Amino acid sequence: MDDLGAHIRAKIAAGTLPVPADGAGKLWVGHGNGRRCDACDEAITAADREYEVDLAGGRTIRFHARCLAAWHDARANGLAR
């Protein structure tokens, strides 16, 4: 993906990727098992680490390491750029 940050900001603006007001919730890390990354939409394979974020309200979102970092960056910078 050429501009992961722009892709994530677009998903946040569209409401398909949340920006929780009360923080990110619980974070779990493990081996991927083929589920889709909520940021880049690509599979998180067994060769990848899967970062699973449990949000308030029961929603769970999953990321690759680079996607989690880009999501945090978008949240920290108020989606500006």
Instruction: Evaluate if residue 46 carries a pLDDT over 90.
Output: yes
3-class SS of residue 29: strand
What would the pLDDT profile of 21-33 be if each residue is shown by its tens digit?
A: 666 678 899 999 9
Instruction: List strands edge to edge, sheet with 60-63.
Output: 26-31, 49-54, 60-63
- Among 9-13, 36-40, 55-59, whose mean pLDDT is lowest? 55-59
Residue 25 belongs to some domain of the structure: yes
Number of domains in the chain: 1
Share the mean pLDDT of the chain. Answer: 87
User: Rounded CA gap, 78 and 81, in Å?
Assistant: 9
User: 9: domain range?
Assistant: 4-76
Residue 81 belongs to some domain of the structure: no
DSSP secondary-structure letter at 59? -
Provide mean pLDDT across the span 58-71. 93
pLDDT of residue 81: 42
Taking the model in full, what pTM does it have? 0.85
